[in-house]
Structure 1
Amino acid sequence: MSHQHLYALIEADMAAVDRVIRERLFSDVVLIRQVAEYIIGAGGKRLRPALLLFTANALGYRGTHHHELAAVVEFIHTATLLHDDVVDESSLRRGNQTANAMFGNSAAVLVGDFLYSRSFQMMVGVNDMRVMRVLADATNVIAEGEVLQLLNVHNADVSVDDYLRVIRYKTAMLFEAACRLGGILGGLDEAGQERLAEFGRHIGTAFQLIDDVLDYSGDEAQTGKSVGDDLAEGKPTLPLIHVMEHGSPEQAARVREAIESGGRESLPDVIAAIRATDALERTRAHAKVEAEAAKSALSVLPPSHFKEALLHLSDFAVARDY
């Protein structure tokens, strides 16, 4: 089942979410509209909102709050992208200029703040303290993850557990929140909500691990990123940690030096070490374990096309090449 076919199940819902996004982006401040519409319109998989829609539909939810909350999730994600690109000094995302490259760092940061604050206005409108708690806690943990990642830049002593903690906080947490919200809207008890949160946590981790793989093997035309961006920024991702733990002393020393210095000068040597130690295959295998754990957590859902779509998305998270 193709990615496009999966999304056809929620086509009407996604169209409704897009309408909410456009309405809620409005501001009397022209620059806010320009920057927000630029980043929202730049594309992307909209995977986090889709997970909320799939889980809510799988539980038979028949309201409209899932549209509003899916838009909230997308706004929070977009705000993190705006801030990420400023911190990382990125100039390219999904093959397009980043908002900070187009409009400047100050505008990108401040519009990110606008999206965060608009998200909280929207979640208050749902008038459910459980929803507010999930999103408030998730936003706080994501911010902690951003700081943890910043502390790890150029740090070649980051362990696998340290790195997985960053992924859990920075990336997987919003997946987790989106799925938990679907459970809340669908009427699951707390145990059921936790199972859906586990699904989100595992699929979010798998998704990020494959991003790590693609940073050293992806087609730049498809990923919209340059190969070796993480290395250039001094980020010790799982393939690099694997080389340092399992490669020869020379390979480990080369990768350590590359992380500590940043830049692209060592990229050919680092890629050679990654290939020689099967680091990408081992990282993909780790992602597959996460995806299988995600699928197991879906036992809480009754049979439906929406549940099947979530199972297929777990496989897509690992098999994708963009």
Structure 2
Amino acid sequence: MTATVTERPPLAEDDLADLPVVPARHPWRLVAGVLALVVVAQFLHGLATNPGWDWATFRAFVTADTILRSVGVTLQLTLYGTVLGFALGAVVALLRLSPSRILQTIAWAYVWAFRSIPLIVQLVFWFNLSYLYKEFGFGIPFGPTVVSFETMDLLGALGAAVLGLALHQAAYAAEIIRAGVISVEAGQLEAAAALGIPRARQLRRIVLPQAMRAILPNAGNEVISLFKGSSIVYVMAIGELFYQVQVVYGRTGRVVPLLMVATVWYVVLTTLLSIGQYYLERHFARGADRTPPPTPWQQLRSRLRQIPVAAGGRT
């Protein structure tokens, strides 16, 4: 005995349009979201009610003059270290891309040395440079010196910190820039050379705009790391943010609220750096993405404009 299977006739387009659309349900996503919100709520409740955080001391020092001056020193170290580090890093990257074996070896040795030695060791070394070299001079190599000056007058604590941060940053910046340059297809340079475009214009108009898309994310990370890593100069008794916080809680004994002062300042300034990085990446992505996605601010304005329209539709 065999059963016959009757085939259903295909549905017309009008019938398909009348079918109800049932969204897929994901109950475990809802459960995970509720649990995450509960954990966040408990954490915030602990921040608000735990007396150990001592928010009164936090409010007293978060905008104190000493803290604001130390924030300025931290930003100064970050700015000088970033500008000098990436300027020197660009030179080292070009040396590594040079056809000269001698220049490649020198650049490779620089990157190898400054990435191998911990930053704190470099800072202490530059801080004690006058112990090794009493004076520097210019003149004939292995001959008489024409002009000389003492290293004690050349490098103070802040100068030694900037020099150490810049030289350390240059080793990483060189590899970031080199990776961005070699990410550009060589065929584009060959086509530009065939059109008679000079090498300098090729670098400025063809290589750099495309390389920046690969350079910026890693460069932004390095700048933020340098900003937070500038706290390591406390070993040189420079009044940056972390050092000043240590001085204050050493005098008052309020360790936790003063650490929260430093934490809040680091979070706020890192957020501002991240926003700047986002808009820089968006600017240099215009060639690859002609219609970039809207920024968070544009999305917010769009949603706010839709609220009256939705309310009018319900009415």
- What's the TM-score, normalizing by structure 2? 0.31
Q: Which has the higher contact order (CA 8 A, sep 6+)?
A: 2
TM-score, normalization by structure 1 = 0.30
